[in-house]
Chains A and B, each alone.
Chain A
Amino acid sequence: MTDEPLLRVSALSKFYGSRVGCDNVSFDLWPGEVLAVVGESGSGKTTLLNCLSTRLLPSSGTASYRMRDGQFRELYRMSEAERRFLMRTDWGFVHQNPADGLRMTVSAGANVGERLMAVGDRHYGKIRATAVDWLSRVEIEQDRIDDEPRAFSGGMRQRLQIARNLVTGPRLVFMDEPTGGLDVSVQARLLDLLRGLVTDLGLAAIVVTHDLAVARLLSQRMMVMKDGRVVESGLTDRVLDDPRAPYTQLLVSSILQV
């Protein structure tokens, strides 16, 4: 157990004019912890994710991140160069639509290798070997390494996006509906893969999803959001098995049983 959290979020708010994006969100995230943020569309969960990943600047509040040297840095006070460096080395961002997170017109191998080249790897053979390794870890056949993601199925594209993000060994990964828009069987495979990678690599992750089953499978903790506010948070199985807030009870009772 590490004594200090990886990310400390305090009173984070984002307003779009008079409309509330997210309001007064605070939490700590520890290394290796997966936090699910659930809620229906418009609940502010994506706004929160975008603020945390510094893709969007909040209206108020702070978020500090423990850098690899152990020092906490205030995310919104970092220079853009530092933030972008953080985003391509120590962080990952898995988009719901893989086309948003991949370069669709370069090969799978180059998609995985880009981050390595961005941090200064200049040995083609080693970059390619790492790409081959990562493709196999996300269950993409080696002979697809020179194909463009345009030729991949939705599930493969999503797995490629994951490999592209994890290749630099990030400590924190943001995921926005990572299984959205996939067939159920493809979803199951992806979830299992994510679960394994998160455990094996000791990743911390913040997963935005509207799917409570995804939250149950991937996360240890969850936050339920409604109208930009956190209405309930706690251990994932506690929130799902003993929901206390009216909205959480509604969500849980709306799950379809198979």
Chain B
Amino acid sequence: MPTPLVVSDVAKSFTMHLRDGIKLPVIAGVSFSIKAGECTVLGGPSGAGKSSILKMLYGNYAVDEGQIIVSHEGGLIDLANASPRTVLAVRRQTIGYVSQFLRTVPRVSALDVVAEPLVERGEDREAARGKARALLSQLNLPEKLWALPPATFSGGEQQRVNIARGFITEHPILLLDEPTASLDATNRDVVIELIAAKKAAGVALLGIFHDHDVREAVADRIIDVTAFAPGKLAA
């Protein structure tokens, strides 16, 4: 089974310059890999650094130490030291990401928010909208909302738009940051189905799920993040 993403010895800390430069270590010695067709889940209590790991893998947080090797367009790239342009290319082609919250853009309709990643990858706009419609209806987002910008949607509605946007592409790696947090049981089940479909398609998934049932349903493997606590390394 291919391993499209290998993380080795990654460390991250925040330096708070506005607080006299105090350094807050977040995580250290992070090493793991994820496999195609599997859903790997990051486990551990809040504040253990699960989200920080996902954000580093997506290039959203800078990496202090270590390597994040991604298989991208037939080659291997170290995301920890990649140029912004390379990170953008990896995001476009290789790594998808469903964040906890949707960042809305003024005046862009929910349908176009969902279709956008496909359009960015060069797909025809109407074809992309077609796929977006299918996903939004699968996620039970009322059709009357599709043409509206999601800024005024409820938390659950926004999250479903966000999920659709993340799942619409065929990225070989998909990062999920609590995608089911504000969903009801029905829609949680839809997300579980979507994840199963991705696994079947050979996508390597890495996620954070606080919901016990969802985690049980999707996880092939659980990585305990507490093992990467900065103090542990010294011990």
Contacts and interface: CB of A to CB of B under 8 A. Distances in A.
A43 to B, nearest CB: 17
Question: Size band of the B side of the interface?
Answer: 20 to 34
Range for the number of chain A residues in contact with chain B: 20 to 34
Contacts of B60: 235, 237-238, 241-242
Contacts of A1: 89
Nearest to A216: B103
Contact of B62 (A189, A217, A238): A238
B55 interface: yes
A195 B16 contact: no
Nearest to A250: B18
Interface in A236-251: 237-238, 241-242, 244-246, 249-250
Contact of B18 (A30, A191, A253): A253
Contacts of B33: none
Contacts of A235: 59-60, 84, 87-88
- Summarize A's interface: helix, strand, loop or mixed: helix
A220 interface: yes
B40 to A, nearest CB: 23
Contacts of B55: 241-242
Interface in B71-114: 84-85, 87-89, 105-108
28 contacts: A30-B85, A33-B85, A188-B106, A188-B107, A192-B106, A195-B105, A199-B119, A217-B105, A217-B106, A221-B84, A221-B85, A234-B62, A238-B59, A238-B60, A238-B61, A238-B62, A238-B84, A241-B55, A242-B14, A242-B60, A242-B61, A242-B62, A244-B15, A245-B17, A246-B17, A246-B21, A249-B16, A249-B18
